[in-house]
Structure 1
Amino acid sequence: MAALIADKYEAWKAEANARFDQLKANEEELNRIFAEIYDMVGEVPIEVEDKYVSVARIFDTAEEIPESFKGNKYVRTRRDEVVSLISYAVGCMLGRYSLDKDGLILANQGDTVAEYLAQVPSPTFMPDEDNVLPITDEEYFEDDIVGNFVRWAAAAYGEETLEENLRFVADALGGKGTPREVIRQYFVKEFFADHCQTYKKRPIYWLFDSGKKNGFRALVYMHRYQPDLLARIRTDYVHEQQERYRAQIGRLEELAADADRAQKVRMEKQLKKLREQLAETTQFEEKVHHLADQMIAIDLDDGVKVNYAKFQDVLAKVK
């Protein structure tokens, strides 16, 4: 049955805020009881300041947060909740979570889709087969992360409400363009930073990143890592992306030859970006090739920091 993310959000906000109010009331009642027991009524504060209540309180926007809540690390906004939803969706895309079963699904070293299907035989939403989710400026790949998110939203909330749900997500994130464009920009520019913050600079979803020109990026799930992963990223994704850049550059160069001045200026700008992205992916491919040939193994028991450092030349920096 189709559902609206907006309705789910409002229901969760009401539940969370009622819990906040109840906890605050409970703490104040305890303060009154102890003040009476120790004959200190009027000498000790009874009221509990909002900033000291240690459960979530949700506001639609940061501008709505009263001064009394400043300093409360549990305060959240609609954007925070949508970011959490996106994180859960990525977990479903990579097999960590499932729409059909609570808790962790793939959480052991080297887990594959086969292990996922053993736990969830008929999934509502199927995780990515090869554990690689490309994040690019445009939808170049069939398993593109934005395309995957759209399919996840349709599976989770229904096809009938898909466009309205994408608008709600995009409005919460903020930005210009269509809902899909806003969501893409979030994945390109902000998702990994938010993920690192959530996991205290110990990301479990690793971002392969060619550099500032965004020539190529892709998320992988650490727990599903296999020694041949980099070889697959190189041949199935980076090489394909390079070929697309070359083809786009070739077409634009042909069109620019017969274009008028205004068109030529626009095309030259596009060409500059594509050439920079191609150059960046060429350097990136060499680094990936070097590491891929080593067939590096990891051990989850070593922790994220140790394992991430093995691929630091091709992974995004954790800030």
Structure 2
Amino acid sequence: MRFDLAHWQQVAAERYPNGLPKPYSDDPTQWIFHGHPQPATEPLQVAVARLLGYRWPAESDSEMELSDQARAWIARSAGLNALADDDGIVCLPPVRGEKAAADRLENLLEAAFGSDWTPQRRNQLLEQVGARSLDAWLRDKFFEQHCKLFHHRPFVWHVWDGLKDGFSALVNYHKLTRANLERLIYTYLGDWIRTQQHGVEQKLDGAAERLSYAQNLKARLEAILAGEAPYDIFVRWKPLAEQPIGWEPDLNDGVRLNIRPFMTAEVLRHNKKPKLNIEWKKDRGTDVPSAPWYTLGLQYGEKEGARINDHHLTLAAKKAART
């Protein structure tokens, strides 16, 4: 097929008489996204991410080539930072003196949309995501939609105890250090457990069931914190002495590897396909002989050099390698 250069040069001259426009995107899956909910293709998803303290790359890169319009939205996004949570943990029910997640989300949306934030606008956004209220959307649909939007590499995790009116929290994975996991367990979940214990003493309906589910969640999160197999992180390109001991995630290793303990412990709102489609099958290609786990494939009926990911290590083995 012949390419008509002159024709397309004429089309370009007519469409872009001043040259190609500078980069701009309202799509939150794009690197150049400005970070503001109002013009975004997924306003509620963006608002939740901002509430959890997430920032898009364009917001912190002053050298990135962007349009003036994008820079203007980035400047407006900065005005929402005061509403972001400080530790990246936002509980759906009111816990530890903090408002419920739905109330905090509405406050951020009101600040983002200004006079354009009306009951009609809220209902329009809720209709787009198939929910009747912000609370119901956060509880039942947010995480599934978040996983789908970001191609099953979620950076906001929905931790819950499995009970509809139980403990539930949204967590910014990029801020989920060991200290913040401890804070989730012993400060936020701990406060919820104390509230339910008091409810049991007062013989409140449902308190005993909520307490039981919360205590079970605590045990599973503590197992992740400790990191004994099968609740460990395995990174096939790191030698034994560099493998994480307990919850020591390296963001550079990727969400696919770091989320494994949470999915194994089944503490997320969705832990299986198709709603959360993450697997640890062997990767394509073959490792070089100098790779730290070059012979691991032999343990799984594969050849040397097979890039095995679904492998578990004991704490004892990892600690011994560091001595």
For the aligned pair, the TM-score class normalised by the smaller chain equals 0.5 to 0.7
Q: Name 2:121's counterpart in structure 1.
A: 165
Q: CA deviation digits over 1:141-174, x for unaligned, max 9?
A: 5153212211111211226845443343344445
Residues 1:141 and 1:150: Cα distance change in structure 2 (over 3 Å)? farther
**How many residues are treated as equivalent by the alignment?**
203
In the alignment, the residues of structure 1 paired with residue 192 and residue 249 of structure 2 have an alpha-carbon distance, to the nearest angstrom, of: 27
Aligned-residue offset at 1:279: 0.7
Residue 135 (1) aligns with residue 88 (2): no
Aligned-residue offset at 1:229: 1.6
Aligned-residue offset at 1:104: 4.7
**Alpha-carbon contact 2:89-2:169 (below 8 Å) kept:** yes
Secondary structure of the residue aligned to 1:305 is helix
In the alignment, the residues of structure 1 paired with residue 142 and residue 219 of structure 2 have an alpha-carbon distance, to the nearest angstrom, of: 26
Residue 94 (1) aligns with residue 23 (2): no
Supply the AA of the counterpart residue of 1:315. L
In the alignment, the residues of structure 1 paired with residue 95 and residue 199 of structure 2 have an alpha-carbon distance, to the nearest angstrom, of: 14
**Alpha-carbon contact 1:95-1:105 (below 8 Å) kept:** no
Residues 1:174 and 1:148: Cα distance change in structure 2 (over 3 Å)? same
Supply the AA of the counterpart residue of 1:227. R
Supply the AA of the counterpart residue of 1:274. A
In the alignment, the residues of structure 1 paired with residue 98 and residue 268 of structure 2 have an alpha-carbon distance, to the nearest angstrom, of: 22
| Match among 178, 190, 194 for residue 227 of structure 1 | 178
**Alpha-carbon contact 1:245-1:278 (below 8 Å) kept:** yes
In the alignment, the residues of structure 2 paired with residue 83 and residue 146 of structure 1 have an alpha-carbon distance, to the nearest angstrom, of: 20
| Match among 148, 155, 165 for residue 204 of structure 1 | 155
Residues 1:105 and 1:230: Cα distance change in structure 2 (over 3 Å)? same
Aligned-residue offset at 1:132: 0.2
Kindly report which structure 2 residues correspond to 1:154-303, keeping only aligned pairs within 5 A, or say none: 154-158=110-114, 161-175=117-131, 182-253=133-204, 271=205, 273-293=206-226, 296-303=247-254
Secondary structure of the residue aligned to 1:103 is helix
Q: Which runs of 5+ in 1 are unaligned?
A: 1-29, 34-80, 107-118, 177-181, 254-270
After the TM superposition, which of the residue ranges 210-219 and 235-244 deviates more from structure 2? 210-219
Supply the AA of the counterpart residue of 1:209. W
In the alignment, the residues of structure 2 paired with residue 160 and residue 204 of structure 1 have an alpha-carbon distance, to the nearest angstrom, of: 29
Q: Which structure shows the higher helix fraction?
A: 1
Secondary structure of the residue aligned to 2:86 is coil
Q: Name 1:144's counterpart in structure 2.
A: 100
Aligned-residue offset at 1:291: 3.1
Aligned-residue offset at 1:195: 0.7
Aligned-residue offset at 1:83: 8.3
Secondary structure of the residue aligned to 1:238 is helix
Q: CA deviation digits over 1:258-306, x for unaligned, max 9?
A: xxxxxxxxxxxxx2x4322221111111222333356521122222111
| Match among 258, 279, 291 for residue 307 of structure 1 | 258
Aligned-residue offset at 1:233: 0.4
**Alpha-carbon contact 2:90-2:170 (below 8 Å) kept:** yes
Supply the AA of the counterpart residue of 1:228. A
Kindly report which structure 2 residues correspond to 1:96-135, keeping only aligned pairs within 5 A, or say none: 96-97=54-55, 103-105=58-60, 123-126=79-82, 127-135=84-92
Q: CA deviation digits over 1:89-132, x for unaligned, max 9?
A: 0121122237xxx83559xxxxxxxxxxxx99963342110110
**Alpha-carbon contact 1:228-1:292 (below 8 Å) kept:** no
Q: Name 1:8's counterpart in structure 2.
A: none
In the alignment, the residues of structure 2 paired with residue 155 and residue 172 of structure 1 have an alpha-carbon distance, to the nearest angstrom, of: 20
TM-score by length of 1: 0.54
In the alignment, the residues of structure 1 paired with residue 117 and residue 145 of structure 2 have an alpha-carbon distance, to the nearest angstrom, of: 27
Secondary structure of the residue aligned to 1:208 is strand
TM-score by length of 2: 0.53
Q: Name 2:319's counterpart in structure 1.
A: none
**Alpha-carbon contact 1:82-1:173 (below 8 Å) kept:** no
**Alpha-carbon contact 2:159-2:168 (below 8 Å) kept:** yes
